[in-house]
Amino acid sequence: MKAHGRLIATVAFVWLSGTVAAHAAAGVGTSPATAYTFSIEGLGLSGDANVTLPDIVVTIGNNLTYQDDILLVLTGVTPVAPTPSPTLVTCQTTPTAIGYVTTITGGWAFRVTSVSGISIGELCVFKGLKVTARSLAGSPGTLIYNALRFQTGQQVDSAVNPIPGDPSAISVRSQFALAPVQKLNGIIDVYADRKSFASAETVAPGNTGTTKLNDTLNFTTSVDANGVVFSPPTVAPYLTRVEIIGDWAWLEAGDSNSTCDIAEFGTALNGFAGWSVNGTSSCQKLVLDQAYPLAANTTAVTGHVDVPGTVPLNPTNWVGTVQWNYYLTGNSALIGTTRADWDPGMWTINGAQVYIQYLPYGANLSRIIYVANAGVQPAAVSGTVYHDGNTHECSLGAAGPRAVTEFTGAVDACVAGAGVTSGRVAFRLTATAPERDIEVYSAYDVGGSDLGTVINTSNGRTFWYGTGSTFVSPP
């Protein structure tokens, strides 16, 4: 029998000394029959203010006698001492059978005040119990009922909520959520000079036409945990800000001013209705702000990125953050912020790339760079110079099949083309070959007598690279 929320009362019969005694399963839950969810943001802004809990209902599972102790705990909370009254605890058959005694760790102590005690199966409702908001924000929401025999302290009845298979009657969670629906997943095509993806997008809305320049990004945001009804206190959001961090430098499309401004983002972004590019966006991050007031508490965001097709792209592990600014419902002077990380996806590449982190240039310095190609096909090799915040692209030639090819002169010419005559540069080699087939040796020489090997992302990998096995560190 289910009654008063999450209470399941079953009756069993136990033979005791030739007589039959009834025993009911004890239970503890809330009433009316619903789950009560509190906003962690609302509780946080409320601080030490009191929060009233929903009615807590206990099904007595054993006969209790006069002056037996009843302990009610909501783990992790700081309880507030209630004002004793005839309506604080009301039992179904004997309304005034329980009286309040004191607060205890995480809850309250009561006592059976009826001389005749309380019978098995009785339903008792605890009304208007309060806790501090800050403490409830950190509570796991576990309700515990214990009954202890007077004087001996023997536990004679108990119940816990939640039980396996039954959700919590009281829970605390964030009002806010962001979930990626379709992540960025473009594969950069080395056979198209890294200026497009290897295949056309198949997911809406970026699947229009047959172009290989689109990559869809769809996600949802929610300010009510996707339709959850929260018990007060709650918060009202006034800003949703999404950041997508990674290499957006391809937006420059030739102007090389390293700003990646709003207009350039506007050219690349299609869809994303109800969102605008924030002026803090840069070549390292896209910042999108959602327009308020919101049309719905849960918003589906759909759109796609359109690359120009004229600028080389780089593999990027996109990193996402999201921020909500809000105020306490009914008190706009109390404001707060919630932040979270999310995964917008990754751009990979259908070729090999090796990054040389350090090459020195200047008088009495020379470089040594070789590319080993284990494949059976020649690999076209291109280079990217990174220097003082700028990049420069070059075609370097071909790495012969099953051969070691020197690229020192081609790399030096590429660096000179970038206007660099002295100082330090980083250099990325890209080859039209499977990554496992390409290895690079890089070094520099000082005056012909001091050779310094440069660790790059090829010779800096472990023995396990290219074997098809993943190295697992021993415990």
On the question of pLDDT at 247 being above 80, the answer is yes
Domain end among 349, 371, 392: 349
Residue 209 and residue 247 share a domain: yes
What's the pLDDT tens digit per position in 136-191? 999 999 999 999 999 899 999 999 999 887 778 999 999 999 999 999 999 999 99
- Which carries the bigger pLDDT value, residue 206 or residue 472? 206
Say if residue 90's pLDDT is above 50: yes
The verdict on 357 and 343 lying in the same domain is no
At residue 182, φ and ψ (nearest 5 deg) are -135, 115
Counting Cα atoms < 13 Å in the Cβ hemisphere of 331 gives 11
What does the alpha-carbon distance between residue 364 and residue 358 come to, in Å, rounded to a whole number? 17
- The distance from CA 214 to its chain's CA centroid, rounded to whole angstroms, is 26
> How would residue 209 be classed by pLDDT, with cut points 50, 70 and 90?
confident
* DSSP 8-state code for residue 292: S
- pLDDT-based confidence at residue 257 (cuts at 50, 70, 90): low
CATH at residue 445: 2.60.290.11
Same domain membership, residue 245 and residue 135: no
One domain for residues 232 and 318: yes
The pLDDT score that the predictor gives to residue 208 is 87
3-state secondary structure of 152: coil
Q: Is residue 468 part of a domain?
A: no
17 pLDDT exceeds 50?
no
203 in a structural domain: yes
243 pLDDT above the threshold of 50? yes
- Please check whether residues 184 and 163 belong to one and the same domain: no
Which residue in 393, 360, 337 sits closest to 190, CA to CA? 393
Q: Name the amino acid, one letter, at 72.
A: L
Would you call 378 helix, strand, or coil by DSSP? coil
Domain count within the chain? 3
Alpha-carbon gap, residue 360 to 383, rounded angstroms: 16
CATH number of the domain that residue 310 is part of = 2.60.40
Residue 469 lies in a domain: no
Kindly report which listed range (26-35, 235-244, 424-433) carries the lowest average pLDDT score.
Answer: 26-35
How does strand 230-231 pair with strand 438-446? unpaired
Looking at the structure, tell me whether residues 7 and 69 fall in a common domain.
yes
Q: What integer is the mean pLDDT of 77-103?
A: 96
Domain of 69 in residue numbering reads as 2-173
CA-to-CA distance for 265 and 271, rounded, in angstroms?
12
Q: What percent of the chain has pLDDT over 70?
A: 90
Q: Sheet containing 316-328: give its strands across.
A: 187-188, 331-349, 316-328, 235-245, 285-290, 275-277
> Does 211 share its domain with 300?
yes
Quick one: tokens of 469? Answer: 């096995």
Q: Are residues 227 and 99 in the same domain?
A: no
pLDDT band at 21 (very low <50, low <70, confident <90, very high): very low
Question: Is the separation of the CB atoms in 374 and 418 below 8 Å?
Answer: no
- For residues 345 and 356, state if they share a domain: no
* Average pLDDT in the chain: 90
Residue 184 lies in a domain: yes
The mean pLDDT value for 260-287 works out to 95
464 pLDDT more than 50: no
Residue 345 per-residue DSSP state: E
157 and 85 in a common domain: yes
Does residue 311 belong to any structural domain of this protein? yes
- Mean per-residue pLDDT for 7-24? 32
pLDDT for residue 256: 57
- 255 has a pLDDT exceeding 60: no
Residues 210, 332 share a domain: yes
Does residue 20 have a pLDDT over 80? no
CB within 8 Å of 397: residues ≥ 6 apart: 380, 381, 405, 407, 410
Distance of alpha carbon 6 from alpha carbon 145, whole angstroms: 14
Q: Is the pLDDT of residue 389 over 80?
A: yes
Would residue 291 count as lying in a domain?
yes
Are both 90 and 117 inside the same structural domain?
Answer: yes
**Residue 101, Ramachandran bin (φ over 0: left; ψ between -120 and 50: alpha; else beta):** alpha
pLDDT for the residue 461 = 61
In a domain, 464, yes or no: no
The answer for residues whose C-beta is within 8 angstroms of residue 376's C-beta and 6 or more apart is 401, 402
Is 461 inside any structural domain? no
What distance, in Å, lies between the first and last C-alpha atoms of the chain? Answer: 52
| Of the residues 123, 138, 173, the one at which a domain ends | 173
Given 111, 138, 173, which residue is the final one in a domain?
A: 173
Give the pLDDT score at 24: 60
CA dihedral (44, 50, 51, 55) in degrees, to 10, reads 160
Q: Lowest mean pLDDT: which of 92-96, 322-326, 439-443, 460-464?
A: 460-464
